[in-house]
Structure 1
Amino acid sequence: MAGAICFHARLPLQLTHPQRRLYRGFVKRNGFRCSKSNDAPQLLKVVVSGATEILRLLSSFNKNELYEMVPEQKYETSASSLDDIMMILKSDYDNAYFVTGNFTSGIYTDDCIFEDPTIRFRGKELYSRNLKLLVPFFEHPSISLQSINKVINSETESVMASWRLRTYLKLPWRPLILIDGITVYDLDNRFRIVKHVESWSVSPLEAIGQIFTPSSGRPV
């Protein structure tokens, strides 16, 4: 979410056969199309990085307004089991962390990897800053948790959440963003998230197209 509107639908884990069927069945039912992260055109990746820097520059000119709209909140709760992680993530979705920028940072490692098809970076502080850059541009945002499931095998434990994002952007043509997605949270042996991988229901180019499409006349 902290990158462009994009899509990444590889199998993120070494899943058991039933778990692979569950994941692929979900992807198929929801119209997801599989593509690897390196399928995104290099030019698109450059555009995403450039847009992030532009947002960062714009926010530096109006820091007071940014901080007023996105109050600084720290959630340092830790987890001691997979059930704890599930409960905390559900709470974060209830708080709409994708569109508010407020999430439970204590369940992530400092060097957690955040990834989507157009951007990949390391560090929960950078993720928090990137989210807060986007929040002031959202208008009437919502993100609803559709399902959340444990993914367990002999070596790893993870959580897979499916969700739906809907928001207008505060641009002159007021584009409407509609995305169904999946986020997979990989855990270490201390029940901290070490990898946060997003999958989206549209291709990178289609998603960028939403940003440049006026909302008038679009189905809601």
Structure 2
Amino acid sequence: MAGIARVAGPSPITPRSTVNARRRRCCRAMKSTGEEGSNGAAPKLIKLAVSGVTEILRVLSPVKGDSLESVSDDERDGVPASSVDDVVMILTSDYEKAYFVTGVFSSAIYAEDCIFEDPTIRFRGKGLYERNLKLLVPFFDHPSIILHSIQKGDDETYILARWKLRTYLKLPWRPLISIDGKTVYELDDNFAIVRHAESWNISALEAIGQIFTPSFGRPSD
């Protein structure tokens, strides 16, 4: 995910007008189903809740140091894409491996400074994204991620995936997280993902509320 190794020389500078046009098309794709947009600024209370939950998970996490040691570099990094269809194929494979809940994803298709955002948080850097996934994975219990569809945009500047996440969390009150969402993967001229933006069928407040809601059911083995 570091600027993508397949680019021999410096990447061409994309005109601001082109970048803005791409951003508008991606925003339309995210809003097309009426789901909660990730561009809306989360209230301060939600940001504080996310920070608090993150800190709790960091303290409780059994993962110390560099995890994912059992995953080979080839599996984690893969081969950079050379077309939009390549990116679709690689992302499809990552979803089949349930990368949301395993933390194993093809980092080579992401730019080093890729932006990651959802209705509760926004940050930059694929290394930080990998660490965040690594932090969450140990707390998932009976997780599943179902890919409903994945397709490239008409102008091939982005890819849109629709999915469903369901998992219990290994916390004393056994909360159930259930979210239907979609992710827009915005691409640069070298087919690297420069923006990974999620939107959900529930609001950011409802999503945070799920974490603090006790589950009356038990995950079945």
Same fold (TM over 0.5): yes
Counterpart of 1:50 in 2: which secondary structure?
helix
Q: Relative to 1, partners in 2 of residues 1:77 and 1:35: Cα closer, same or farther, differing over 3 Å?
A: closer
Q: Post-superposition shift, 1:118?
A: 1.9
CA distance in 1, matches of 2:71, 2:85: 27
Given the superposition, is the C-alpha separation of residues 36 and 187 from structure 1 closer, same or farther in structure 2, using an over 3 Å criterion? closer
Match of 2:40 in 1: 37
Task: Note the residue ranges of structure 2 that are not aligned, 5 or more in a row.
Answer: 1-21
- Any idea what the Cα deviations from partners look like across 1:188-218, whole Å, max 9, x if unmatched? 1111000000111111111111111122169
CA 1:47–1:72 in structure 2 vs 1: closer, same or farther (change >3 Å)? farther
Match of 1:185 in 2: 185
Q: What is the TM-score with the length of structure 2 in the denominator?
A: 0.78
Distance 2:38 2:130 in 1: 27
The alignment's C-alpha RMSD in Å is 2.6
The CA deviation at 1:179 is 0.4
Trace 1:82-97 onto structure 2 (pairs within 5 A).
82-97=84-99
Change (3 A) 1:198 1:23: closer
- Output the amino acid matched with 2:82: S
1:13: which partner in 2?
23
Q: Tell me by how many angstroms 1:77 deviates.
A: 1.5
Displacement after TM superposition at 1:50 (Å): 3.1
The offset of 1:24, in angstroms, is 4.8
Q: 1:34 to 1:63 in 2, by over 3 A?
A: closer
Which runs of 5 or more structure 1 residues have no equivalent in the other structure? 1-11
**In 2: Cα distance, 1:34 partner to 1:23 partner:** 7
| Equivalent position of 2:210 in the other structure | 210
Letter in 2 for 1:63: K
Q: Aligned residue for 2:161?
A: 161
Say whether the 8 Å CA contact 1:151–1:157 is kept in structure 2. yes
- Work out whether residues 50 and 208 of structure 2, in 8 Å CA contact, stay in contact via their aligned partners in 1: no
Give matches, 1:23-34, under 5 Å: 24-25=31-32, 27-28=33-34, 32-33=35-36
Structure-2 separation of matches of 1:91 and 1:191: 17
Contact 1:96 1:143 in 2 (8 A): yes
Question: Map of 1:135-174 to 2, 5 A cutoff?
Answer: 135-153=137-155, 157-174=157-174
Q: Distance in 2 between matches of 1:146 and 1:138?
A: 21
1:51 to 38, 50, 53: 53
- Identify the residue that residue 134 of structure 2 maps to in structure 1: 132
Give the equivalent residue in structure 2 for 1:111.
Answer: 113
Q: Is the CA contact 2:38–2:198 (under 8 Å) kept in the aligned structure 1?
A: no
SS in 2 for 1:14: helix
Q: How far apart are the structure 2 equivalents of 1:34 and 1:119?
A: 12
Change in Cα spacing, 1:23 to 1:208, as seen in structure 2 (3 Å) is closer
TM-score (norm 1): 0.79
Aligned identity (percent) is 60
Distance 1:116 1:24 in 2: 13
2: CA distance, partners of 1:35 / 1:193: 17
Contact kept in structure 2, 1:37 and 1:116, CA below 8 Å: no
CA contact (8 A) 1:37 1:118 kept: no
Q: Which amino acid aligns with 1:58?
A: L
